Structure 1
Amino acid sequence: MRLRRMVAALFVVAASTAVFATPAHAAGPSKVSVVHGIPGQPVDVYVNGAKTLNNFQPSTVAGPLDLPAGKYDIVIVKPGDPVTSPIIKVDQAAVPADANITLVAHLTADGKPTLTPFVNDVSKVAAGKARLVVRHTAAAPAVDVRAGGQPVFKNLTNPNEAKGDIAAGTVSADVVLAGTTTVAIPAASLTLAEGTSTIVYAVGSATDKTLGVVAQKIEGLHSTPGGVPSGTGGLLDEPTPWGLYALAIAGVVALAGGAVAVRRRVRA
């Protein structure tokens, strides 16, 4: 009962929403990170009519947090604007359970603000390996991703991803227009540690010359006994609902309000 009261109190403060106590046999919470990839546009975030995040800055990665399922009304506006002038609006977004997700606020291929949830592959990687994921979330045409000057992910379009498990180490990668050698994003050095997933987001606008990258790292994917096992429970094969937006926004709200320790149940 004490744990339930703590969880209820947390979400009354963090999201200003009703919280339903979760029985011991119910599905677990989702793990959520947030990437702000809209260049030059800070935002205010409203959850169920209450401002829960003020002046959230671009090129920021927040999370992850463990958060329960539920339904939320989300409005994202320019700082100081009323909720009647949204940049993005999602009503009664249904939040799933038992997912590992990154929500990205970014531009569509034609330059319009949008929200895209990605389900993260947190399956184990082999010893000596690391996972590299590239997500196209920029207002730009199809691109190729090169490592050492050679294309490794080809014809990647917004809002899709490509990934592969490769030898851990440092690689130099750049982004070119698909099928050409025209550089869209200059080369950057990436350190891919063993047992991690490095996720690189192409963000910004080719027309406005604001293309860039934001990186996110997920750790604990070692396949060795010393690693921390995790998994998606088959979620990579499932459609990703729009309700993940609300889950991620609630995560940002909790981050803005302070660090929260969540006690997990360890299953045999």
Structure 2
Amino acid sequence: MARTFSLVLAASALLLAFGQASQAAQQVTPLAASQGTGSVSVIQAVPGIAVDVAIDGKSMSADAELGAIVGPFDLTGGTHTVRFTADSLEVTSTLDVAAGTSTDVVLHLPAEVDGDPVVHSYAAPTGSIGPDKARVVLAHTATVAPADVRVNGETVFTNIANGEFAEAELPSGTHRVALLPTGQKANPILGPLDVSLDSRTLSMIYAYGNPSDGSMNVIAHTIELAPDGTSEPTTIDTGSGGWAADLDVRPFSALLSEPTG
């Protein structure tokens, strides 16, 4: 289930994901998807088991451990079947793939303890982005009740439930983030963490595990994004034929802040 939040609210949830590097998987992939195909990655977020992954009956990975990022694979547009199997597990899900898109298929546990694994799919928003910005999708795929996020000591993101996700663009840089049970301001489930987001990247982040047994952690992978051309120029290079070359140009925002007359 998607939830839409303001930039400030979304920032906190996004940032929590890169902490605990001891087990968290992080992978950088280029923008994928040839014409007529879509890019699909499969994420294994169930602690304690190794699973076989098959797409349309073809084995893609054997014994994928917790944290494995399988793919990405280029799949033709249309409906595909993703199947996860282990000694005592069989979960099958269908996925509709559109040409030019990028999607993560995530096997994870539900919020209730001892629940059977479930599958959710998350579309990656891979459109172009402005300078000094990062785009993040955070999905709650952990065995924990809805949670709040504190950024730099303030609660800015509340009541995120299992299976839900948030998406936002925010300034690149480093922030201090913690995940706590909804309504609480101490005893974090995860963190506090010093988190850094690189400019012009998309981070797909999945919180998993159970804080009661110490398995709470994250899986993340990063996709490079194209610039959208919205930077404010300070010079215009019009060539070398006269006075207009390297003409100084002042941003409109700077003009607004100056006195007139």
Band the TM-score falls in, shorter-chain normalisation: 0.5 to 0.7
Q: CA RMSD in A?
A: 2.5
TM-score, structure 2 normalization: 0.66
Matched residue count: 194
Instruction: Name the amino acid aligned to 1:186.
Output: G
Instruction: For residues 188-217 of structure 1, give each alpha carbon's deviation from its aligned partner in whole angstroms, at most 9, with x where no partner exists.
Output: 232211111223211012343311111121
Q: Distance in 2 between matches of 1:129 and 1:216?
A: 17
Instruction: Name the amino acid aligned to 2:196.
Output: T
For residue 213 of structure 1, what is the aligned residue in structure 2?
A: 218
Gaps of 5+ in 1: 1-26, 227-268
Deviation at 1:219, TM superposition (A): 0.9
Query: Whose Rg is larger?
Result: 2
Q: Distance in 2 between matches of 1:124 and 1:186?
A: 31
For residue 199 of structure 1, what is the aligned residue in structure 2?
A: 204
Q: Distance in 1 between matches of 2:132 and 2:164?
A: 27
Q: Distance in 1 between matches of 2:207 and 2:125?
A: 18
For residue 7 of structure 2, what is the aligned residue in structure 1?
A: none
146 and 52 in structure 1: CA distance in 2 versus 1, 3 angstrom threshold: same
Matches for 1:47-86 after TM superposition, within 5 Å? 47=55, 51-78=59-86, 81=87, 86=89
Secondary structure at the aligned position of 1:194 is classed as coil
Identity, in percent, stands at 27
Deviation at 1:127, TM superposition (A): 1.9
Instruction: Name the amino acid aligned to 1:87.
Output: E
Instruction: For residues 215-239 of structure 1, give each alpha carbon's deviation from its aligned partner in whole angstroms, at most 9, with x where no partner exists.
Output: 121212422389xxxxxxxxxxxxx
For residue 98 of structure 2, what is the aligned residue in structure 1?
A: 97
Q: Distance in 2 between matches of 1:94 and 1:40?
A: 25
Contact 1:175 1:186 in 2 (8 A): yes
**1:143 correspondence with 2:137:** no
Contact 1:75 1:86 in 2 (8 A): no
**1:172 correspondence with 2:176:** yes
For residue 252 of structure 1, what is the aligned residue in structure 2?
A: none
Matches for 1:1-268 after TM superposition, within 5 Å? 28-47=36-55, 51-78=59-86, 81=87, 86-90=89-93, 93=94, 95-98=96-99, 99-110=101-112, 111-181=115-185, 182-224=187-229
Deviation at 1:29, TM superposition (A): 0.8
Segment of structure 1 superposing worse, 67-76 or 154-163: 67-76
Instruction: Name the amino acid aligned to 2:89.
Output: P
Contact 1:69 1:94 in 2 (8 A): no
Contact 2:82 2:95 in 1 (8 A): no
TM-score, structure 1 normalization: 0.64
